[in-house]
Chains A and B, each alone.
Chain A
Amino acid sequence: MLSDITIGQYFPGASILHRLDPRSKIVLLGIFIVAVFVFNTPATYGLLCGFTLLLIAISKLSWRMMLKSIKPLWWIILFTFLIHLCSTPGSELAKVWIFSLTWEGLEQGVFISVRLILLILLSSLLTFTTSPLALTDALELLLGPFKRFGLPAHELAMMMTIALRFIPTLIEETDKIMKAQKSRGADFSSGSLIRRIKCLIPILVPLFISAFRRADELAMAMEARCYRGGIGRTRMKVLKISRIDYMAYAFVLLFGTGLTILKISGL
Chain B
Amino acid sequence: MKARIYVTLKPSVLDPQGKAIHHAVETIGFRAIQDVRQGKYFEVTLDGALSRDEARAEVERMARDVLANPVIEEYRVELDSNSDA
Our verdict on whether A and B bind, yes or no, reads no
> A interface vs B, CB < 8 Å?
none
> B interface vs A, CB < 8 Å?
none
